[in-house]
């Protein structure tokens, strides 16, 4: 820990690109952490830009000064390019930006990061990294120099790594080895019945062709969590990653499709015109008004339906806010509406059985590992060929289940089975059972406020600390990346690649040989060290 708090002049200056729900969450985390300063915002919607800026950047009565607000990241790029040019010419310029949070739409990540990469600004990208593997690899290249080293600290919104609960869980399993070698793990993400309809039936992430599969947009950090627990080596061991041997996946869109629409709903396509709305589980007025706005909540998910509702509620009262909400919910489309218009926005009052959604609402991913004798450790040691002990990292399996129709909302749960015991976890409690004693040991880690069990706050804080030690020249970029973020760019790419592999396995009903598949992908995207004759992947989201 530092001996004295940093002055404001020394704190990392942060640009938030995208002032939506995630951008606001990170701005709040930066502000509350005391580890950084929200210095600027880039957002095309003026209302969102001004709302975030007045809360975290400038005095609402004075408004923004030069370099504090931008219409979008392209505007910032122009401004920053000129600022650097003026500085090089000896002119006095405003202070620059040390780090940025990329919180625009998923499909816009790659364009923004690759265009800004040459600025060497420390970057944290909201998950997923990109919607194709090709774009993920392009981002990796943009954040690296020609010599292969990173030009800036890079973080990804895999917030599950940063909650106190999950950090303790990994310590118990990998470092303390309280259940011995892991044999199997099962992990579940219960999305939540109405939450799934909000984001993946009515919302922005409902259609694979315009965004990506739900396994990527919703659960890529769950796949990362599995690899963090079972692939990434324990700190200080110097071991190489224990990569999976095979990947399979099964899943589909089950419930939210037209064939399951209740007969009583008739031809209605919008909740506000539906004869059975009051009895429907997925009634939009009930979800957004009765269960949220009527109880005084103007934050998520209400502000996603209409970002101006909070200001309306505070300035004109609850009835005016209700009227604004219902007016937004009644907006609908029909057969005459251009497809492009339908795709470019969410429709929160739309009947869940009449939407154009096609992403999975139920999916399993199955992973397997082979025995690992730990050949090729960092110090070059080889195992003793006469040793009769079992491999240090045994063959194992893991399953992940993403399911929409649940009572719990994003409260992950699972079990880990080992040689000496088993562990159950649910985000609040970690229960360790010891086979030899027949006793349980219970752990209840501190559960901070904020999203993902404190993971949002934890990730933002560690990113800011990484920037600070690089800025003060106390650590190299690589050291800060490892010691503060605990996640390398290689791990980011690997976990995303595994999602794309799982989708290919699901769509083509096959089991994928992971190492062969990954080698072929690396060859396809320009690695000269791997054979270009390897079989090429065929999943649509690999390159398109």
Closest-CA residue to 426 (of 414, 434, 416, 437): 414
pLDDT for position 538: 39
pLDDT for position 532: 29
Bridging pattern class, strands 421-425 and 154-156: unpaired
pLDDT for position 539: 45
pLDDT for position 391: 57
Instruction: Render pLDDT for 197-214 as a digit per residue (tens, 0 to 9).
Output: 999 999 999 999 999 999
CATH class of the domain comprising 13-160+454-494: alpha beta
What DSSP character marks residue 365?
E
Q: Is the pLDDT of residue 376 over 90?
A: no
pLDDT for position 535: 34
On average, the pLDDT of the chain sits at: 90
Q: Is the pLDDT of residue 508 over 50?
A: yes
If pLDDT is split at 50, 70 and 90, which confidence band does 525 have? confident
Q: Is the pLDDT of residue 90 over 60?
A: yes
Contact 419, 181 (CB under 8 A): yes
Total-model pTM:
0.90
Range in 8-22, 228-242, 473-487, 523-537 with the lowest mean pLDDT: 523-537
Mean pLDDT across the stretch 93-105?
A: 96
Range in 1-10, 398-407, 424-433, 468-477 with the lowest mean pLDDT: 1-10
pLDDT for position 3: 41
Q: Is the pLDDT of residue 375 over 70?
A: no
- Domain ranges across the chain: 13-160+454-494, 258-343
pLDDT for position 60: 78
Mean pLDDT across the stretch 8-21?
A: 92
- By percentage, how much of the chain surpasses pLDDT 90? 81
Contact 318, 312 (CB under 8 A): no
pLDDT for position 350: 98
pLDDT for position 234: 83
pLDDT for position 449: 67
Contact 391, 371 (CB under 8 A): yes
If pLDDT is split at 50, 70 and 90, which confidence band does 450 have? low
Closest-CA residue to 502 (of 544, 471, 526, 537): 537
Instruction: Render pLDDT for 116-152 as a digit per residue (tens, 0 to 9).
Output: 999 999 999 999 999 999 999 999 888 886 556 788 9
Instruction: State both tokens at 364.
Output: 């399993």
Contact 88, 65 (CB under 8 A): no
pLDDT for position 395: 94
pLDDT for position 147: 58
pLDDT for position 235: 80
- Reported as half-sphere exposure (CB side, CA atoms, 13 A), residue 206 has a value of 25
Q: Is the pLDDT of residue 358 over 70?
A: yes
Instruction: Render pLDDT for 148-175 as a digit per residue (tens, 0 to 9).
Output: 678 899 999 999 999 999 999 999 999 9
């Amino acid at each position: 820990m530092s001996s004295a708090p940093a002055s404001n002049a020394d704190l990392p200056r942060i640009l938030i690109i995208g002032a939506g729900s995630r951008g606001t969450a990170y701005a709040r985390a930066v502000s509350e952490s005391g580890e950084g300063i929200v210095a600027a915002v880039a957002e095309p919607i003026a209302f969102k830009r001004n709302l975030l800026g007045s809360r975290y950047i400038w005095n609402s009565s004075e408004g923004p000064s030069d370099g504090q607000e931008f219409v979008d990241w392209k505007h910032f790029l122009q401004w920053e390019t000129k600022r650097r040019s003026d500085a090089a010419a000896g002119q006095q310029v405003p202070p620059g930006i040390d780090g940025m949070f990329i919180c625009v739409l998923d499909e816009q990540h790659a364009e923004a990061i690759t265009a800004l990469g040459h600025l060497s600004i420390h970057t944290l990208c909201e998950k997923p990294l990109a919607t194709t593997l090709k774009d993920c690899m392009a981002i990796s290249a943009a954040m690296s120099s020609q010599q292969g080293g990173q030009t800036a600290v890079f973080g990804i919104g895999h917030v599950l790594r940063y909650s106190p609960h999950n950090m303790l869980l990994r310590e118990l399993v990998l470092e303390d080895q309280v259940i011995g070698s892991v044999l199997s793990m099962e992990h579940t993400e219960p999305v939540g019945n109405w939450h799934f309809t909000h984001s993946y039936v009515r919302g922005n992430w409902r259609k694979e062709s315009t965004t990506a599969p739900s396994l990527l947009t919703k659960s890529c950090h769950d796949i990362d969590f599995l690899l963090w627990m079972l692939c990434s080596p324990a700190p200080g061991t110097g071991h190489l990653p224990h990569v999976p041997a095979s990947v399979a996946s099964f899943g589909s869109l089950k419930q939210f499709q037209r064939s399951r629409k209740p007969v009583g709903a008739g031809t209605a396509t919008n909740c506000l015109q539906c004869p059975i709305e009051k009895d429907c589980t997925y009634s939009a007025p009930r979800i957004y008004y009765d269960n949220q706005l009527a109880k005084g909540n103007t934050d998520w998910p209400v502000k996603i339906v209409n970002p101006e509702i909070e200001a309306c509620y505070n300035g004109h009262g609850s009835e005016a806010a209700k009227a604004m909400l219902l007016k937004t919910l009644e907006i609908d489309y029909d057969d005459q509406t251009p497809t492009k218009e339908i795709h470019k926005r969410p429709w929160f009052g739309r009947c869940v059985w009449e939407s154009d959604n096609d992403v999975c609402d139920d999916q399993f991913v199955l992973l397997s590992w082979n025995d690992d004798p730990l050949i090729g450790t960092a110090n070059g040691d080889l195992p003793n060929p006469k040793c009769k002990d079992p491999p240090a990292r045994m063959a194992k399996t893991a399953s992940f289940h993403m399911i929409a129709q649940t009572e719990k909302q994003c409260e992950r749960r699972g079990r880990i089975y080992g040689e000496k015991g088993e562990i159950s976890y649910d985000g609040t409690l970690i229960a360790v059972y010891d086979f030899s004693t027949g006793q349980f040991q219970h752990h209840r880690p501190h559960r901070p406020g904020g999203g993902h069990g404190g993971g949002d706050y934890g990730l933002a804080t560690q990113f800011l600390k990484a920037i600070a030690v690089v800025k003060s020249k106390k650590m190299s970029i690589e050291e800060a990346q490892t010691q503060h973020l605990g996640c390398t760019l290689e791990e980011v790419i690997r976990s995303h690649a595994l999602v794309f592999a799982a989708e290919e396995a699901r769509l083509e009903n096959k089991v994928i040989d992971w190492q062969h598949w990954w080698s072929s992908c690396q060859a396809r995207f320009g690695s000269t060290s791997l054979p270009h004759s390897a079989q090429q992947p065929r999943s649509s989201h690999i390159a398109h």
